[in-house]
Amino acid sequence: MGTEEKEKTFAELLGEHPPERERLRPGQAIEAAIVKITPEWVFIDLGEKSEGFVDQKEFLDDRGELKVREGDVIRAFFLSSARGEKRFTTRIADDSSRNFLEDAWKNRIPVEGVIEKEVKGGYEVKVGAVRAFCPYSQAGRTRAGEPGQLAGKRLEFLITEFGKKGRNIVLSHRALLEQQARKRKEELREVLKEGQKVRGRVAGIRQFGAFLDLGGIEGLIPVTEMAWGAVENAADLLKVGEEVEATIIKLDWDRDRITLSLKGNLPDPWEQVGRKYAEGTSHPGKVARLTDFGAFITLEPGVDGLIHISRLAKGKRIKHAREALEQGQAVTVRIGKIESDKKRLSLELSGRDSEEGEEADFRAYAKNGSRSFGSFADIMKSREGRKGRK
């Protein structure tokens, strides 16, 4: 042994031969950062100048695009070690070892399987060479379409039961989706704010609105938030699978509700009301809604005004606006009062149905009446004349 080697400290020798890292056991979960991505593998940092690798295919989305990048931290499960190389997975697919599936069950590692056929109460699923069972209720978060439509599909599952030494395996795709949704919810909770613009795909359309997939969690666009004007059918504006931008108007994490708006991304027509309309001017409109206190008239999409019930029936008393107007009827209205800050317009029917018509009637009456009796001023003048002649 040479002098130079004798002079090395214990710490230096320890640095050359660091203690072996705690041995990983199959199925053990770790979190590690991605250090390199190649066409075949994604390498992760295990610390102490050691790396592991994951098949790159596990990180491709439905369109074949990579969902991760270098620097991202992922959760992976240890599979095996050979010649110093440690292989990991984010799910188990082709390994048919029941021992491995038992580790997946104990450590809640996702497994990948193919739905072979429909059986009583659910589906028969093949995971590698092992057959398992998935109940109808666990095939998804919602039951979509006919049960037979899932046959032949490859999905990921969590093993919920591992009985009789692996001869009775029960799977759940729903549990995995809910687990992913909870994780996604926590991630989004840190970044989403009310008033923020987000992009998502239309996941479903209902009579009351449309659901937007924000990447693992859904938000609702109520039909009243789709446009400034009235929307009769959401399907006329949106299509399932379409990508749109919306504004978050309410976040309710306790009730798992995200309320979105499309019209929030459009110019507010009320910002131009003061320029387009003036008090006393007349404009065409359409009866939008009839109530017991008046009629709402649409002047343009998103701009409605109210004709109070007292101004609808030529001085007659009515109990409901439908006694004077019909839904969808075209009318001409006069602007009474504009309150842009409150988004309010007071309207009157133009013509004889308005106060203007009532004033015209009075002037006509007064004019005709003067032919018989004269005006009050004429009567006074006549009296003064008679006094002067006396």
Q: What is the DSSP string of 296-341?
A: EEEEETTEEEEEEGGGSSTT---SSGGGT--TT-EEEEEEEEEEGG
For residue 102, pLDDT over 90 is answered with: no
Spell out the alpha helix ranges (H) of 168-235. 173-191
Which of 370 and 64 is assigned the larger pLDDT? Answer: 64
Tell me the pLDDT tens digit for each residue of 37-96.
999 999 999 887 789 999 998 898 878 889 999 999 998 888 788 777 888 888 766 555
Distance of CA 94 to the CA centre of its chain: 36
Which of 314 and 72 is assigned the larger pLDDT? Answer: 72
Tell me the pLDDT tens digit for each residue of 110-151.
888 899 998 998 999 998 788 899 999 998 765 444 556 788
Positive or negative torsion for Cα 261, 265, 270, 276: negative
6 pLDDT band, cuts 50/70/90, is very low
Q: 29-37 and 73-82: which strand pairing?
A: antiparallel
Per-residue pLDDT, 44: 94
257 pLDDT band, cuts 50/70/90, is confident
Q: What is the pTM of this model?
A: 0.50
For residue 260, pLDDT over 60 is answered with: yes
Ordered structural domains, the chain, with CATH: 25-89 (2.40.50.140), 98-177 (2.40.50.140), 194-265 (2.40.50.140), 275-357 (2.40.50.140)
Residues listed for the chain:
390
Distances, alpha carbon 321 to alpha carbons 208, 313, 314, in Å: 27, 9, 13
For residue 288, pLDDT over 70 is answered with: yes
Max mean pLDDT range (89-98, 235-244, 381-390): 235-244
Radius of gyration of the chain (CA): 38
Per-residue pLDDT, 276: 85
Lowest mean pLDDT among 252-261, 268-277, 348-357: 348-357
